[in-house]
């Protein structure tokens, strides 16, 4: 009997070391590896005559004109050379450090070689091709060959062998979550066929059939989960917050809210009056004032006698929200408590006691807030900043605790509307599409490091006019320290201090004590330093209206939306502001990102661009949404398949709402495994 849950360590040729590397790719069982799909394929099935080969990799079949000759070029480097001919021409074949091939490479034998031809005429050569003797079965050549997404240390050949072994291990038993009726209606391939052909396609047509089945299956499971989660939510009553409007709160502000802010708040308040649990996303570009909209909702709930929690993805951001909210809510006698990992045990105990007793009505903190031992007296609203850290899983976790608070999510990375509707269906969206008055477009430039001299003069000029400057350097991971092309914040600050004598330069980075960092940040906010060099800590939102220049070093290291967020730190005051992206990157993807940023200030357009460039697999990965990552489906290009998957999911759930029928057992188990949707929650 097949064992899909068998540990891959026990497959021939894997062993502990490679098993550990595979685990990094999320692969630890036979089931995982057969679901670890190739990223692309190489068609090594068609033979090309040597003379006809272009610059693309080709498959040639050629006879060796001589025995291979071995030479040592320099210490530790061995070169194996042989000449091969076919009817059309000849080619020199070279292998580096593969002297073990020498025995095989004897005059007169015929091989299939897969590789790229370089050079021209008599100099044509192929370096380190894949090869197989012509008489042996096609494994690495002569067929369509998978190419797997890999980490360092794992070779394609190893992956192919391991996938083949795992497929064999499965025998006739493969993951199959589709009810038979659905597979039949949709005319989908059988699982055994699909898994074999997705790894080792017999033909282009077979690959198509395999992909169609697996994509549909993935989207079908996804659609079922969304329907179940949606159904759960629809069923849940939410606390009724009687508050009719937020005028009283707005009246206490030093400025007036924008129309878009008022609208978003009115929509949220209407949700919370309805008796059903709110599930609302507030989308607004960086600087559009989402915090204020959230504060108005928190005010409404707290002043109606209920408790709220505000969650942020990082401690620094939690701290900042805590300060902002303390100020905004003080006029109403609402005093938030802060709950973060770096507090002392005593501080935490006090905060927890206040929440449990109901003495405190608002908690601000990191994820710890909804997990573990935090008890609330009457939690009615959870606000989270940045939707990508809070997903359906957390919702489910809360409801399993018997809580069904209203949920308000704030995000600056807008999901394109069509996709949001398809994905969430019932998630309501408020868009803050209006910036507070006085914001200006930030002029953005991408430059190479040869521009540095002029950039330094520009810094001096702006500081001379009384402005301040942010400089952001990429964070450096321990294992990247060898890469000298990366600037660390500290090093760069030293460089700037030498290049710009007379300017007051400070440097903050992630390894500093929070107290020291805060002190330096505060000094910058007060205008006591001219240039603040930092790692991305500024991303999470210091507000310095006097800052007019944002310089981002090694800009290709940042994602598009992160760059946009960083740029949002300037252009907040009355001064003309600039963003300079410094990058020597040549690769087209990086260039495209930087150019997109220069072209537009519109976060929504950038998000769509980001989606187009990165692909939704990334965009909608579990990291962002708490949803499982898509292995093979692509929510953008497979939108029509998603639609039929949703229809089929609807049919199946209408017929068997609790998935209790035997033919739906595998599906029910899969939902439980992927989405924490337990059977009890489904009733
Ligand atoms: P984001 O949407 O990026 O989270 P914030 O909520 O941090 O934006 O707001 C950015 C800045 O704009 C803050 O300093 C905030 O006080 C200010 N702000 C928010 N709303 C308004 C408004 N209606 N008028 C003027 N300033 C505002
Ligand atoms: Mg914000």
What does residue 358 show for φ and ψ, rounded to 5 degrees? Answer: 90, 0
Quick check: 155 pLDDT over 50?
A: yes
pLDDT, position 233: 54
Ligand 1 pocket member 436 (CB < 6 A)? yes
DSSP codes of every residue in 576-608: --EEEEE-----HHHHHHHHHHHH---HHHHHH
| HSE of 184, CA atoms in CB hemisphere, 13 A | 4
pLDDT band at 433 (very low <50, low <70, confident <90, very high): confident
- By CB atoms closer than 10 A (0-12, 13-18, 19+), residue 163 is buried
> What is the model's pLDDT at position 418?
47
Domains in the chain with CATH codes: 46-142 (2.40.50.140), 240-432 (3.40.50.300), 443-601 (3.40.50.300)
Q: What confidence score (pLDDT) does residue 411 get?
A: 80
Length of the chain: 683
On whether the pTM is more than 0.85, the answer is no
Q: Is 265 in the pocket of ligand 1 (CB under 6 A)?
A: no
Quote the distance between the C-alpha of residue 495 and its chain's center. 33
Query: 429 or 593, which is more confident?
Result: 593
Q: Are 529 and 505 contacting, i.e. CB atoms less than 8 angstroms apart?
A: yes
Residue whose CA is at the smallest distance from ligand 1 atom 12 = 289
Query: What mean pLDDT value characterizes the chain?
Result: 85
Are 128 and 115 in contact by the 8 Å Cβ rule? The answer is yes
Site of tokens 């906010």? 525
- What's residue 13's pLDDT? 86
Confidence check: pLDDT of 48 > 70: yes
Across 54-58, 149-153, 481-485, 560-564, least confident range: 481-485
Q: Which of 254, 263, 288, 292 to mutate to test the pocket of ligand 1 (most atoms within 8 A of CB)?
A: 292
User: For residue 630, what is the DSSP state?
Assistant: P
Per the structure block, which two tokens stand in for 627? 């949803």
Structure tokens at 43: 């068609």
**Alpha-carbon distance 546 to 568, whole Å?**
13
Cβ–ligand 1 contact at 129 (below 6 Å): no
Condensed to tens digits (0 to 9), the pLDDT of residues 168-227 reads 999 889 999 999 999 999 999 999 999 999 999 999 999 999 999 999 999 899 888 877
What is the reported pLDDT for 682? 37
Whether the per-residue pLDDT at 519 is higher than 70: the answer is: yes
Pick the closest to residue 562 from 518, 591, 534, 593 (CA basis): 593
- The CA-based diameter of the chain, rounded to the nearest angstrom, is 92
**Ligand 1 binding pocket includes 293 (Cβ within 6 Å):** no
Residue-level pLDDT at 491: 87
- The pLDDT tens digits for 380-424 are 999 988 654 455 556 666 666 667 789 898 887 655 554 555 455
The answer to whether 316 and 540 have CB atoms below 8 angstroms apart is yes
Q: Give pLDDT tens digits for 55-80.
A: 889 999 999 999 999 988 777 788 99
- Compute, in angstroms, the gap from residue 304 CA to the centroid of ligand 1: 25
Position with higher pLDDT, 646 vs 635: 646
Q: Is the pLDDT of residue 673 over 50?
A: yes
The DSSP secondary structure of 243-256, one letter per residue, reads ----HHHHHTSSSP
* Mean pLDDT score, 313-336: 88
pLDDT at residue 481 tops 50: no
Rounded mean pLDDT, 365-372: 75
3-class state of residue 382 by DSSP: strand
pLDDT at 315 over 50: yes
Query: Would you place residue 629 in the very low, low, confident or very high pLDDT band (cuts 50, 70, 90)?
Result: low
Name the residue at shortest CA distance from atom 16 of ligand 1: 289
Residue 580 banded pLDDT, cuts 50, 70, 90: very high
Handedness of CA 233, 239, 240, 243 (dihedral sign): negative
């Amino acid at each position: 009997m097949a064992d899909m849950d068998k540990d891959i360590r026990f497959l021939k040729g894997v062993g502990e070391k490679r098993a550990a590397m595979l685990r990094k790719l999320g692969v630890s069982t036979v089931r995982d590896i057969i679901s670890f799909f190739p990223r692309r394929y190489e068609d090594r099935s068609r033979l090309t005559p040597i003379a006809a080969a272009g610059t693309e990799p080709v498959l040639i079949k050629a006879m060796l004109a001589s025995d291979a000759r071995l030479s040592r070029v320099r210490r530790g480097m061995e070169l194996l050379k042989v000449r091969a001919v076919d009817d059309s021409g000849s080619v020199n074949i070279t292998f580096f450090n593969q002297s073990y091939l020498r025995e095989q490479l004897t005059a007169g034998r015929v091989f299939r070689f897969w590789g790229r031809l370089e050079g021209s005429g008599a100099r044509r050569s192929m370096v380190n091709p894949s090869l197989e003797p012509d008489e042996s079965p096609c494994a690495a050549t002569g067929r369509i060959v998978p190419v797997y997404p890999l980490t360092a240390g794992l070779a394609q050949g190893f992956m192919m062998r391991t996938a083949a072994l795992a497929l064999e291990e499965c025998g006739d038993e493969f993951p199959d979550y589709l009810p038979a009726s659905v597979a039949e209606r949709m005319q989908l391939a059988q699982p055994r066929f699909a898994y074999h052909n997705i790894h080792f396609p017999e033909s282009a047509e077979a690959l198509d059939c395999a992909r169609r089945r697996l994509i549909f299956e993935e989207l079908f499971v996804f659609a079922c989960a969304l329907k179940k989660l949606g159904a759960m939510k629809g069923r849940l009553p939410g606390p009724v917050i009687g508050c009719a409007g937020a005028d009283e709160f707005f009246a206490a502000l030093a400025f007036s809210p924008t129309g878009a802010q008022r609208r978003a708040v009115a929509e949220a308040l209407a949700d919370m009056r309805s008796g059903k649990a709110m599930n609302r996303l507030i989308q607004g570009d960086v600087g559009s004032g989402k915090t204020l909209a959230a504060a108005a909702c928190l005010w409404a709930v707290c002043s109606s006698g209920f408790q709220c929690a505000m969650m942020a993805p990082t401690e620094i951001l939690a701290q900042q929200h805590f300060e902002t909210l303390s100020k905004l809510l003080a006029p109403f006698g609402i005093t938030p408590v802060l709950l973060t990992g770096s507090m002392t045990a005593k501080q935490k105990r006090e905060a927890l006691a206040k929440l449990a007793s109901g003495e405190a009505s608002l908690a601000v903190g990191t994820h710890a807030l909804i997990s573990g031992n935090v008890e609330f007296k009457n939690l009615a609203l959870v606000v989270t900043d940045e939707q990508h850290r809070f997903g359906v899983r957390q919702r489910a976790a809360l409801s399993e605790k018997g809580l069904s608070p209203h949920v308000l999510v704030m995000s600056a990375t807008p999901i394109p509307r069509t996709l949001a509707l398809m994905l969430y269906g019932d998630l309501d969206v408020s868009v803050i599409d209006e910036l507070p008055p006085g914001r200006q477009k930030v002029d953005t430039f991408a430059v190479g490091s040869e521009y540095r001299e002029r950039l330094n003069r520009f810094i001096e000029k702006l500081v001379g006019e009384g402005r301040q400057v942010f400089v952001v350097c990429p964070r450096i991971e321990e294992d990247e320290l060898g890469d000298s092309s990366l600037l660390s914040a500290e090093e760069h600050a030293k460089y700037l201090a030498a290049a710009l004598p007379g300017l007051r330069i400070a440097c903050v980075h992630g390894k500093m004590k929070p107290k020291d960092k805060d002190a330096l940040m505060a000094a910058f906010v007060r205008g006591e330093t001219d240039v603040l060099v930092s790692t991305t800590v500024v991303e999470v939102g210091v507000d310095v209206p006097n800052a007019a220049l944002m310089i981002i070093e090694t800009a290709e290291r940042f994602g598009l939306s992160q760059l946009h967020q960083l740029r949002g730190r300037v252009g907040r005051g009355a001064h003309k502001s600039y963003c300079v992206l410094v990058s020597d990157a040549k690769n087209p993807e990086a260039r495209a990102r930087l150019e997109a940023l220069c072209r537009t200030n519109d976060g929504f357009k950038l998000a769509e661009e980001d989606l187009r460039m990165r692909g939704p697999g990334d965009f909608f990965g579990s990291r962002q949404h708490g949803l499982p990552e898509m292995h093979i489906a692509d929510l953008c290009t497979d939108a029509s398949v998603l639609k039929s998957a949703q229809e089929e999911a609807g049919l199946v759930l209408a017929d068997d709402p609790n998935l209790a029928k035997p033919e739906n057992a595998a599906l029910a188990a899969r939902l439980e495994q992927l989405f924490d949707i337990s059977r009890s929650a489904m009733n």
